[in-house]
Structure 1
Amino acid sequence: MSVDNRLTDDQLATLSPGDSVVIESGRPRHSTGTVVRAEGPHIAVSVRSPRGAAYVEQYRRRDGSRIGGRIPAKLINADAPVPQEAQRRTRHIDSLFRDWARHRTDVNRLRALHDAIGECLEVLIEPTLR
């Protein structure tokens, strides 16, 4: 889950019943929900499952993360764009990982995955060192 698109503390504090929110869970899967209650340290959000069943999930007002559930989820800002280059790198790493996962004994595929992850980390770490 991306750090760049999380709701800010101010945005989380101003959520009130009836507000629509976007939820990111697992491998960037986005869904929408509606705030049904925002009291104390928790925000209750009504969401629909892929089959249409309604559920109420609780999120922490402090950081917008879901309380409970097997897969982590966060309330995010749907307006925050994801850089195209970052998406391309992530898709490339995902495809290399899937390729290696199908052929786990192939050292060359593992090496290609390792190199791609290393390049991605270099790009991410380099701006912070300046």
Structure 2
Amino acid sequence: MMLPRGTTVAVADGEKLNLYRNSGDEAVLKLAPAPHADVDSSGQGSGSRQSSSGNPDQGQSSEDGFSAGIVEMLNKGVLDGKIEGLVVVAAPRALGEMRKHYHKALVAQLIGEIAKDLTGHAVEDVETAIKAA
């Protein structure tokens, strides 16, 4: 996958978010860390899993809320014109939850998705996964 200069790359799972920007060009991918606001994980996920005595999975509910919070932040960035071009690299479960919250403007800016957990990996691993996609 080739990314234009300035493309935002969000690397996430249900607990962490790393944001990068391509400071290189389409021929030479060079990801640089990008600052971002804290993710508001207080919101509920898609509601597909509610914590109850019958389903006491509070951890999954927290992860879904974090994934929804990531997308809320990304949606705002797209709508404010701060994100032009986006790649989402996320753990498969988190990516599935994130997709449920994409704004149509975000979808229009989405260059690609990679269903792989690369949080905690070196930036070179992220670059390798993008080049291979």
Band of TM-score, shorter chain = under 0.3
Higher relative contact order (CA 8 A, sep 6+): 2
TM-score (norm 1): 0.27
Larger radius of gyration: 1
- TM, length-normalised to structure 2: 0.27
